[in-house]
Amino acid sequence: MLEMMFLLLPVAASYGWYMGQKNALQKQNYPTKKINGYFSSLNYLLSHQQEHIEQALDTLNIKEDTLDIHFALGDLFRDRGELNKAIRIHQNITSLAHTHTIQHHKAMMALAKDYIASGFYDRSESLLLELIELADKTDEDREELNPEYHLLRCYQTTQEWDKGIKSFYDFSSPLQKKYNHIIAHFYCEKYLLEDEIHSKKRYLNLSIKHDKSCIRAWCYYVDVYIEEQNYIKLRQATYSILRQNPAFFVEVLPQIKTYYHTSNKLSEYEALLVRATKSGTGNTIYCELAEHWFNHQKVQQANHLIMEQLKSSPSLKAFTQLITHHVHTAEQSNAKESLIILRHIVHSYLEKQSLYQCATCDFQTSRFYWLCPSCHEWTSIQRSSGLIGE
């Protein structure tokens, strides 16, 4: 698709430029030599003739009616990874566009994005801070440019959580409201870096203060209360997860299971799993409850649960669980051997699948991330649904 855009761009750019210039040419009798020079320069830029790039960039006059073409060119080069070209074009616009105009601010924003893409985070940071100062004076371009968001993303990439939090408190209150969910994650990151339990809890409290529904903070509370052996608080944190977003309950299941088993709270564990299945959790929790019943002499109940789950939401996970039940109850025979082989095949197949998927960019992965490695959105990665998932 990008390649197609790239092929069409010279045509669109040339046409746009031509149409924009047509009237002006009639009035100004624009020299033909200059037009030819413009087209040649565009061609040099869009082709891979490195030796002509400098010349091309110098020849391309940036005027008000060709500004959109230059912005489009710059953004296209950035998308294509040709960052030196993108930077040069956006630098040219910033130096030529009148300061305090939306075009100048747009060019600064585009340049800041080029720097982020190139890994020049300090340059990007200072440009964005300057832009935030400038944009304060012209409210109409703030919504479009969104420099605060990109500044937070910049600190997120460099993992400068303190700087991010500090800049957030300088934002206006509507903007703070807009980015509370991001700062909640910054506090979660500080929780991970801290060793002392009181400070860890303070960061989680701050996270929840900024975003009550920060599911990540509730998941970390589970770890804290398990460490403190605080059953009441642990149960409250677990119920919060089930209320806020039951899909994430499965991410804390292993440590919860270990805690309940080592504390010999097996009936409480069973009650929690029953409650979880009623809250809308996925196949993993149904399989866990079935396994718990199966191991505690409730074989019929366990089989019935899995059969019902397979009917309502067919999945290989529940199917494997059903085979496990049959393997345990079957007499030694060829049929039992076949079941073991079948279970092994399904299990091996599931192990090779991407069990997580980003809801924003569809990035697929076999492990869980709070921050999508592809689109850099928080809490967008969840377990896949359907036959191989939940």
Binding site for Zn ion (CB under 5 A): 358, 360-361, 363, 372, 374-375
By C-beta, is 55 or 360 nearer to Zn ion? 360
Helix ranges (DSSP H) in the chain: 2-28, 32-46, 53-59, 67-79, 83-96, 102-118, 121-135, 142-145, 147-158, 161-170, 173-193, 197-210, 215-227, 231-244, 249-262, 266-278, 283-295, 299-312, 316-329, 334-351
The least CB distance from residue 379 to Zn ion, in Å, is: 11
Of 306 and 355, CB closest to Zn ion: 355
CB 157 to Zn ion: min, Å? 15
Q: How far is the CB of 362 from Zn ion (least distance, A)?
A: 7
Distances (CA, A) of 200 to 189, 191, 194, 208, 228: 10, 5, 6, 13, 13
DSSP 8-state secondary structure symbol assigned to residue 383: E
- Taking the complex as a whole, the smallest distance from the CB of residue 294 to Zn ion amounts, in Å, to 37
Cβ pair 147, 112 in contact under 8 A: yes
Q: Which is nearer to Zn ion, 330 or 361 (CB)?
A: 361
Nearer to Zn ion, 93 or 381 (CB): 381
Q: Please identify, using beta-carbon distances, which residue of 182 and 226 lies nearer to Zn ion.
A: 182
Q: Across the strands, what pairs with 382?
A: 357
Q: What is the DSSP letter of 314?
A: -
Q: How far is the CB of 116 from Zn ion (least distance, A)?
A: 17
Q: How far apart are CA 127 and CA 131, in angstroms?
A: 6
Give 319 or 363: the residue with its C-beta nearer to Zn ion: 363
**Shortest distance, CB of residue 359 to Zn ion, whole angstroms?**
8
